[in-house]
Amino acid sequence: MSACARLLGAVLAGGEGRRFGGPKPEARVGGVPMVERAVNVLREVVDDVVIVSARPLSSPPAPVVADRVAGAGPLGGLDAALRHARERGFEGVLLLACDLPLLTPSLVRRVRATLGDGSAAAPERSAGGIEPLCSAWRVSVLDAVERRLGQEDRSLHALFRDVAGRVVPFAALGERADVFLNVNTPDDHARAEDSLRGLPPTVRRRRV
């Protein structure tokens, strides 16, 4: 990415949380609501952060942008974030799902740096494949987003292939194997609580 390029941080907080037993964004991990943790991580990397959600939050730690396409999942959230970024003069979006509480600012910085002059970038998981819920996208992919929204497969994985995104090898991240733990169930929540005891206090305890 060029030195003058500007990315908007965007936290996805629109999941219904069926397996979790309720909405996840304001569920606490390490004493901090997950949506707030994600906002904090992004604010270590970019200056401006928004939350993309179709549901109201009781105390949002950043401005909220509504989904444009209902029921489109993360792809719909990326669509809303990229359109908002373009309207505000940003060149792209640094995307982060709120339910990945083990992510660190250093990992997100690596993803941002890997974008370079490409269309998208995402890290590799320890078991292979990418983690598209921690990714960087330029506004130039909006046409590809629009096409993908009209198809049966609305996954970010499919979009990433469409735009020939760049992959950060897991070995280059310098992170532990569970860094991409996704909190989908109460058991995942318990594992995240246990894992966070080893993270730096600035990530675990910081408030906006």
- The CA-to-CA distance between both ends of the chain, in Å, stands at 27
Please list the pLDDT of the chain residue by residue as tens digits (208 residues): 345 469 999 999 976 656 664 678 788 888 899 999 999 999 999 999 999 998 888 889 999 999 888 788 999 999 999 999 999 999 999 999 999 999 999 999 999 999 999 999 999 998 889 999 999 999 999 999 999 999 999 999 999 999 999 999 999 998 988 999 988 888 888 888 888 776 544 444 333 2
Count of domains forming the chain: 1
In a domain, 2, yes or no: no
In a domain, 155, yes or no: yes
In a domain, 68, yes or no: yes
Give, in order, the Cα–Cα distances in Å from 171 to each of 45, 134, 168: 21, 16, 8
d(CA 145, CA 160): 10
Is the whole-model pTM more than 0.75?
Answer: yes
Q: Which CATH number is 68's domain given?
A: 3.90.550.10
Q: Structural domain of residue 66, as residue ranges?
A: 7-205
